[in-house]
Amino acid sequence: MGAEVIPKLSFEQFRDLPSDGKRYELIHGEVHVTPAPATRHQFVVQNLYKNLESFIFENHLGEVCLAPLDVRLGLETVLQPDLIFVSKSRAGIIQENWIEGSPDLAVEVLSPSTAGHDRATKLPIYAEAGVSEVWIIDPIARTVEVFSLKGAKYLVDATYAGHQVLSSNLIPGWQLPLDALFDFRGHF
C-alpha cells in the first residue's frame, strides 16, 4: 500500500480549511500545521504586543496584529507570524481576513517544536517576500535576534540578551527592556 498523496492547495482552498484552533500555514502549496504554543511563548507575545501596540497607536505609526492571522506572501505561501507590524504608509495590504503582502516587521517567538521551522523555512520566505525586518525571540535563552533585509538576504542587525533594551530602526523611539519582555510573572 502506497503513501497517501495530498495535493497542493491553492490560496482559496487553504482559506477553506476548518477553523479548528490549529495554526495552519501554506508553504509553496503544502499545508503545515504547528502545535499550540506553550505558556512561556504566550507571555512573551503578550508582553511585546502590549508595549509595541501602545507605542504604535499613540504615535499613529500603523497597525500591530497577532497570530492567528494569515499573511499571504505569494500565490501558494501563507504564514502566520506571532506578531506583525504594518506601517501606516503600507496599510493598504491589510484586508478584511488576511494581510496581502509583506508586513514591515514579522516576529517569531521560538518554541522547541517550531524553532527549526521558524529559522530554516520561514526566514528565507520572509526574505524572498521582502519583509524589512524579522525578530526571532527565544524565550528560553531570553534572547532577541533582529534581522534586517539587505538586498535578498538577512543580516543580523543586533542580538539582545541579559538586561539590554530592545529597539528597532523601523520604529524610532520605541524601546522595551528585555526584563519586561521576558516577564513570566515568577512562573519560570
Domain contains 17: no
Would 74 be classed as within a structural domain? no
User: CA end-to-end span of the chain, whole Å?
Assistant: 47
User: Which tens digit of pLDDT belongs to each residue from 70-85?
Assistant: 999 999 999 999 999 9
Nearest alpha carbon to residue 83 among 62, 105, 102, 100: 105
Q: Is residue 32 part of a domain?
A: no
Report if residue 111 sits inside a domain: yes
Whether pLDDT at 2 is above 60: no
Looking at the structure of the chain, the number of domains it has is 1
- The per-residue pLDDT for range 45-103, each reduced to its tens digit, is 999 999 999 999 999 999 999 999 999 999 999 999 999 999 999 999 999 999 999 99
Q: Which range among 29-43, 66-80, 85-99, 161-175 shows the weakest confidence by mean pLDDT?
A: 29-43
CATH number for 134: 3.90.1570.10
Question: Is 19 a member of any domain?
Answer: no
Predicted confidence at residue 17, as pLDDT, reads 86
The β-bridge relationship of strands 105-109 and 133-138 is parallel
> pLDDT value at position 150?
96
Range of the domain at 59: 38-67+81-93+102-181
Which residues 6+ apart lie within 8 Å of 35 measured at CB? 111, 113, 114
Is 5 a member of any domain?
no
Residue 3, pLDDT score: 43
In a domain, 72, yes or no: no
pLDDT for the residue 23:
85
Q: Is residue 12 part of a domain?
A: no
What number is the average pLDDT over the span 11-40? 88
Q: Which residues contact 126 (CB under 8 A, 6 or more apart)?
A: 73, 79, 102, 106, 134, 154
